[in-house]
Structure 1
Amino acid sequence: MIRKLLVANRGEIALRIFRTCRLSGIQTVAVYAEISDLHVAAADVAVEVDSFLDGAQIIAAAHRAGADAIHPGYGFLSENAAFARDVVTAGLIWIGPDPDAIEAMGDKIRAKKLVAGAGVPILEGGDSFPLLIKAAAGGGGRGMRVVTEPEALESALTAAEAEARSAFGDGTVFTEPYLPLARHVEVQVLGDASGRIWVVGDRDCSVQRRHQKIVEEAPAFGLSGETRAALHRHARNAAEAVRYQGAGTVEFLVDGERIFFLEMNTRLQVEHPVTEAVTGLDLVAWQIAIAEGRELGDAPPAPRGHAIEVRLYAEDPARDFAPQTGRVRAFHFETSDVRVDAGVAAGSEVGIRYDAMLAKIVAHGPDRAAAIRLLADALRRGVIHGLTTNLGLLRAILRDDDFVAGRVDTALLDRRLADWIGGDRDQAVRKAALAAAVGTAVRTAVSGSVQSRIPAAWRNVPSQDRVRTYRCGTAEYAVGYRSRGGRIESSWLPGVTVLAVRGERVVLDDHGVRESYRVTVVEGGADVDGPEGSFDLREVPVFTDPAANLAAGSLLASMPGLVVAVHVEAGQRVAAGDPIVVLEAMKMQQTLSAPAEGVVASLSVAVGRQVAAGDVLAVISHEESR
């Protein structure tokens, strides 16, 4: 029996495992590189390490804390066969499959050959376009590139190899045919030491960005009985081929009725909560039980109802999903009707060292339509302030007609992204901006030490409106308002009037419909929560700092990150599209290229330097290229 378990991970997955340990009476050990991480306080004891990738330090931490088992979570060392072997050699219990199974499935090239021998269909070829470049040693979208024409192949291979090497320590990549209209469907399995395999159910994970899932559902909807049975049969065959023990997932592409093996993840997956929701199983508890020697029963419970999970990321969908950093000022999702697995809270600092995922929100209903409605309502009421996230995108996905109807494939997001990040949100932002302007004006007047009795919108030229300009995303809103008879009025938004401003509460009337907004004045703007969601509004200064003017041809950092490569020198001539600098943040790499032909007039970065979004990295002079 396991008495004390160390989780070799952080964030929401460490917290998730700790919850099961508490229910099972198992003491917990956290490892951390930053003491402020939430999982540190949730554990019974904690040990500092330099890196979550340093297996020797983690094993030493387990011994120091008196742990007798290690759970790797997902990511980091969870699919590292050498680490698993070292854990066992150190006399500790490994919560996971046999290291040989990890090794066999960890190399995707080897894994495809192995499962093909067990009768599982695989994708073959990869010589014609479009094709997909994939990392042999890892997943999660790292090291993956879609190539549509031969001219782009060499640069895509170079970028994929570099990203794979950085993420997994192995730059080996391979190619396979790209099927953009296929669905991504996966099968959850559990195996015990006796060789019994449970096929626990399936999930659809087709809605993806950068080949990484953001929406997952169980069971996979709209499959024929024959296709579902084939998926389960192939998953069982793949698991039996390596005598699999513990929790694992076999992933497939489903193209009509055709099925192709993608990979096997020899660990717990991010999306495991949807399977737990429909089966009632605790997959972490089963991982621990199997590691202790418990055998599976005859069959797992049949799924009940439908569950959907969305991943909340610190990223900007309007800027190619660039990672975002900052301090979380507010974080709240109602948990009475949904499950929230979060790795942050108000006050948390989000940096560039780790994955951009902040939380997972999961809804379970009697059917798919009910689950969508519950989850959409939870996201609409959800509050997060302090950094840009994909929350608005997630809301839009759940409202989309194609998604609601189940017409999904792995390229759906790419086709619909422009609509999902634009769409009908402008009016909602405008009302939030109006609430921010009048709420801030009254709050400033009340708290001011001078002229505190003067109405908030008072001006010595009464015919002119007072104006506050806010930026939300890339759009700016110049809100006009004035004071008349002690009341705040605004004609800026036709049909919308200000009914009341009391403390942080602003009440608007939108064509006869009363709406209440909570306005929290923060440094540089306001956080607004209203009936259509939450918004971070940055106030635009009235006077522009002359120092903010940038030289023509300035190449700016599109995201905060670490400079991992510089491809040019000052004075070098470049062509449009030539790579200049490569940034890395949250396990993803981004290459910044020359926007036009020119000469590198100045270069202000070097490998190893950390940069902030908006920093000038280089200046490409067009005049000197003539």
Structure 2
Amino acid sequence: MFSSLLVANRGEIAVRVIRTAKELGLRTIAVYSDADRDALHVRMADEAWALGGLTSQESYLNTTKLLEIIERSGAEAVHPGYGFFSENADFARAITQAGVTFVGPPPDAIEVMGDKISSRRAAEAAGVAGVPGLTHPVDDPEEVVAFGDEHGWPVAIKAAYGGGGRGMRVVTRPDEAAEALASARREARSAFGRDECYLERYLAWPRHIEMQVIADDHGSVLWLSERDCSAQRRHQKLIEETPAPHFPDETRRAMGEAACAVARACGYRNAGTVEFLYQDGAFYFLEMNTRLQVEHPITELVTGLDLVELQLRVAAGEPLGFSQHDVVRRGHAIEVRINAEDPAGGRFMPTPGTITRFDRPDGPGVRVDAGYDTGDTVSQYYDNLVAKLIVHAADRDHAIARAIRALGELRIEGVATTTPADVAILDHPDFRAGTHSTRWVEERLDLGGVAPVATASQDAHELVPTPVIAEVNGKRVAVTLYLDAAAPSAPAPRTPNAPSRPQRSSSARAGARAAQTGSGEVSVPMQGTVVKVPVSPGQQVDAGEVVIVLEAMKMENAILAERAGTVREVRVNPGDTVGTGDIVVVIE
């Protein structure tokens, strides 16, 4: 086993990996962006190194800087977590070529399965059928229209190098194709660095069921359990559970064997997840995620296995040490994602800001995996997952009751979270009966009674880089402290090259906190970056028409006109950073 591990990630998954690594006696190394300088994963690691930059591209996706830190820190292994570089074959190859162990599958397997198009081909070669779709990238909206006319509407546009619902758009009719394809490609490029997209038929009422697999270098390829991830919004999961309700054992075994066949077909090693759509007793290959999943803890609770420990041991060349027959699943587990989003009215609007209170639930069968604590800031620049509540009980009914009880104990203040929607899902007769699907939350769940959550200021404190002369063990050194700009004692920075936050446009700042209800002043409900301005002064718009497209927390959000009229003023341009309440468009 290697002696040191660098975690090339942030948030709750970095914290999760660090914990197991410490239990194994490994030296843990964190990396951080300017926004994450004092983040929980940084505080927990044995040492931490600065990446610089704020956005993902400037920091956690900066290959050159990561490789430099890996070398300087003496890390013997790298765990990529999920997202960022976890499914990037070039990064995995660069790690291994540097003589460092990559805690994940071989680069060739990532290459085959990381590209959703080639993964469909590999699955078909292994005898596992997929949802009807194309096996080549699409860049012409007319191809979307032709596919829909041939296979039926709706059509799903999906990022070829993505996952987790990022870069996915559902097109219900031909005139939506051009904008949906452009939007999917923008979001895919932002989240994954590549914008290739492909097409699939969008099933009417499917369930999303995935299979956890693990493979070693000694010929073992095992399936551990399935997970039902059908409770979703924006094609991103909210609640996951295992075992899947009303899922026949013979189908479970067939899906497990199919998942292992897919893994063998690409020479897979380490932990991975093969995802399927299940409808009317049949299942279809969807994709393979060549990494640890967000929802892996529920598999850990029903099997008693530590998946991160298995990942590390397999990466070190050790055999799994158990067979398929030895995998025993007990009880029922549910994971609830706690995202910084306001679910009022089913809108799920991102709510970056500072957490002023975070009280975790406790009691039998309750686990919380979090990337934040009281006083930490949820940044607009990254995914908005704050924590995961995971519960385990003897059966599904008791697990649901336990999850609702634990959510009642959870207290998070300062940012709105998805907790009210989570409770509504768990307590709904459709969910309890197991008749929900991937489309249920957005099409049938009524969240009209969920009121907007009042929060403290949504703006993160700005930290000013401040050069200071200090003495360390008698030696005079120059260091940089990052002090709260709002604090009266914080001196102004003295170095012209010091990093700073991107500034909001002055016109947007001037209109901050203006009223918006029923008025012609369109303001934004969260921090973010303007990616598209589809209107211009003098243009006529209708109520409900998109006037700004804002990217916040790795998602595109359409900002709508609240009244019809003529656009008098547009105060922002693509690339501008705006804050909560900033007025971006004026309509008269």
Fold-level similarity (TM above 0.5): yes
Q: Does 1:339 align with 2:381?
A: no
Q: Name 1:568's counterpart in structure 2.
A: 535
CA contact (8 A) 2:356 2:414 kept: yes
Letter in 1 for 2:22: R
Letter in 1 for 2:298: V
Q: Name 1:435's counterpart in structure 2.
A: none
Q: Does 1:409 align with 2:376?
A: no
Letter in 2 for 1:562: T
Aligned residue runs from structure 1 range 126-525, under 5 A = 126-127=147-148, 128-296=152-320, 297-299=322-324, 300-318=326-344, 320-337=347-364, 338-418=366-446, 420=447, 422=449, 472=453
Deviates more, 1:396-405 or 1:265-274: 396-405
Q: State the distance in 2 between where 1:546 and 1:219 align.
A: 47
Q: Name 1:47's counterpart in structure 2.
A: 49
From 58, 71, 77, the counterpart of 2:79? 71
CA contact (8 A) 2:530 2:577 kept: yes
- Percent sequence identity is 47
Deviations for 1:533-570, whole angstroms, at most 9, x for unmatched residues?
xxxxxxxxxxxx99758894222213221112223333
Q: State the distance in 2 between where 1:549 and 1:321 align.
A: 19
Q: State the distance in 2 between where 1:217 and 1:371 align.
A: 9
Q: Name 2:497's counterpart in structure 1.
A: none
Deviates more, 1:256-265 or 1:405-414: 405-414
CA contact (8 A) 2:156 2:170 kept: yes
Q: State the distance in 1 between where 2:19 and 2:81 align.
A: 13
**Under a length normalisation based on structure 1, what TM-score does the superposition of the two structures give?**
0.77
Greater gyration radius: 1
Letter in 1 for 2:349: A
Deviations for 1:127-171, whole angstroms, at most 9, x for unmatched residues?
221121111110111111122222222221121121112211222
Q: Name 2:462's counterpart in structure 1.
A: none
RMSD of aligned alpha carbons = 2.1
Q: Does 1:17 align with 2:17?
A: yes
CA contact (8 A) 1:142 1:588 kept: yes
Q: Name 1:62's counterpart in structure 2.
A: 70
Query: 1:257/1:326 Cα in 2 relative to 1: closer, same or farther (>3 Å)?
Result: same
Query: Quick one: higher RCO (CA 8 Å, sep 6+), 1 or 2?
Result: 2
Letter in 1 for 2:360: F
Q: State the distance in 1 between where 2:250 and 2:80 align.
A: 36
Query: 1:245/1:571 Cα in 2 relative to 1: closer, same or farther (>3 Å)?
Result: same
From 97, 114, 118, the counterpart of 2:122? 114
Q: State the distance in 1 between where 2:303 and 2:113 align.
A: 26
Structure 1 gaps, min length 5:
427-470, 475-544, 622-626
**Under a length normalisation based on structure 2, what TM-score does the superposition of the two structures give?**
0.82
Letter in 2 for 1:602: E
Query: 1:63/1:546 Cα in 2 relative to 1: closer, same or farther (>3 Å)?
Result: closer
Q: Name 1:482's counterpart in structure 2.
A: none
Query: 1:119/1:105 Cα in 2 relative to 1: closer, same or farther (>3 Å)?
Result: same
Letter in 1 for 2:348: F
Q: CA deviation at 1:340?
A: 0.2
Q: State the distance in 2 between where 1:145 and 1:373 align.
A: 34
Number of residue pairs the alignment of both structures matches: 504
Q: State the distance in 1 between where 2:554 and 2:362 align.
A: 30
Deviations for 1:448-467, whole angstroms, at most 9, x for unmatched residues?
xxxxxxxxxxxxxxxxxxxx
Q: CA deviation at 1:472?
A: 5.0
Q: State the distance in 1 between where 2:26 and 2:127 align.
A: 41
Q: CA deviation at 1:298?
A: 2.3
CA contact (8 A) 2:30 2:41 kept: yes
Letter in 2 for 1:395: V
Q: Name 2:500's counterpart in structure 1.
A: none
Query: 1:578/1:55 Cα in 2 relative to 1: closer, same or farther (>3 Å)?
Result: same
Letter in 2 for 1:56: T
**Structure 1 runs of 4+ with >6 Å offset:** none
Q: Name 1:592's counterpart in structure 2.
A: 559
Q: State the distance in 2 between where 1:118 and 1:153 align.
A: 32
SS of alignment partner, residue 5 of structure 1 = strand
Deviations for 1:353-398, whole angstroms, at most 9, x for unmatched residues?
1101100000001111111111111101111111111111111212
Q: State the distance in 1 between where 2:319 and 2:529 align.
A: 47
Structure 2 gaps, min length 5:
53-58, 134-146, 456-511
CA contact (8 A) 2:8 2:31 kept: yes
CA contact (8 A) 1:551 1:619 kept: no
Q: State the distance in 1 between where 2:17 and 2:224 align.
A: 20
CA contact (8 A) 1:180 1:410 kept: no
Q: State the distance in 2 between where 1:187 and 1:5 align.
A: 27
Letter in 2 for 1:301: V
SS of alignment partner, residue 102 of structure 1 = helix
CA contact (8 A) 1:96 1:267 kept: yes
